[in-house]
Amino acid sequence: MKIIDYPDAEAQAIALADRVASDLRAALAHKGHASLCLPGGTTPGLMLECLSAAPLDWAQVTVFAGDERWLPESAERSNSGQIRARLMRGPAAAAQMVSMAARGQGLAETAARLSERLAPHLPIDVLVLGMGPDLHVASLFPGAPELPAALAAQAPVVMALHPPTAAEPRLSLSARVLRGAACIHLLISGAEKRAALARAARLPETEAPVRVILNDARIHWTA
Ligand SMILES: O=C1O[C@H](COP(=O)(O)O)[C@@H](O)[C@H](O)[C@H]1O
């Protein structure tokens, strides 16, 4: 595992934002446009704010969340809502954002619509993920009845999942889409997640979905 230790959350956020910006610049230089997939949850807020100020051709970048809680974007815990509020400002406001949040259609219809909408932006150029202490990544949760299908090689781009441990249904990019990203960063903090990560290496993907990207990810950790 490639783990980079940072002295604190600010240093971690600044360094990762810098790294993501240079990954995006490389993709833009190579093909003129880029896709950026981001995590939700409590960890990435500061990194999103740092990234929003990065000088790059944001108008050619398409941004979306790797997963979403089945909530409207206005809900405090919406992953897309957080990305819009904390990334889509300053220079980054010029980016195109595809929201995964609930808006009118049902869960399955939304998963199908998003699969079509995001397909032209694959493979992902730059993927940043978080991880739960239960080793879920995006919304691939251990114990979700749909997890085996989401891990399968022919899974759709976006899947609806009903993890028994989550407060609401989820939408998530499937494992094959996460695995296919060109640059993968895992952003985590705290001793509990570091210990969980060490455990993950000995578990199958059904028990440790983070394993889907573990071999290819740069892991950015702070206590
Ligand atoms: O449920 C989720 O959890 C993970 C980790 O969140 P954190 O609050 O522990 O940082 C997050 O990466 C994911 O996007 C989110 O939906």
Q: Is 132's C-beta closer than 6 angstroms to any atom of ligand 1? A: yes
How do residues 173-223 score in pLDDT, each as one tens digit?
A: 999 999 999 999 999 999 999 999 999 999 999 999 999 999 999 999 999
Pick from 48, 86, 139 the residue to mutate for probing ligand 1's pocket: most ligand atoms within 8 Å of its CB: 139
Instruction: Check pocket membership of 169 for ligand 1, CB cut-off 6 A.
Output: no
- Give the relative orientation of helices 9-31 and 45-52 as an angle to the nearest 10 degrees: 50
199 contacts 135 by C-beta, under 8 angstroms:
yes
Q: What is the pLDDT of residue 1?
A: 85
Distance from residue 31's CA to the centre of ligand 1 (Å)? 31
Token pair of 170 as six digits: 């989820």
| Residues 6 or more apart whose Cβ sits within 8 Å of residue 62 | 33, 34, 35, 36, 95, 96, 97, 98, 121
What is 2-222's CATH number, 3.30.420.40, 3.40.50.1360, 3.30.300.20, 3.40.50.1010?
3.40.50.1360
- Strands 126-129, 183-189: parallel, antiparallel or unpaired by DSSP? parallel
Ligand 1, pocket-test mutation among 16, 42, 187, most atoms within 8 A of CB: 42
The reply to whether ligand 1 has any atom less than 6 angstroms from the CB of 78 is: no
Say what the pLDDT of residue 31 is. 98
42: Cβ below 6 Å to ligand 1? Answer: yes
**Whose CA is closest to atom 12 on ligand 1?**
130
Tokens 């219809």 sit on residue: 109
How many Å lie between the centroid of ligand 1 and the Cα of residue 60? 27
What local confidence, expressed as pLDDT, does residue 2 receive? 87
What ipTM describes this predicted complex?
0.99
Dump pLDDT digits (tens) for 8-61.
999 999 999 999 999 999 999 999 999 999 999 999 999 999 999 999 999 999
Domain ranges of the chain: 2-222
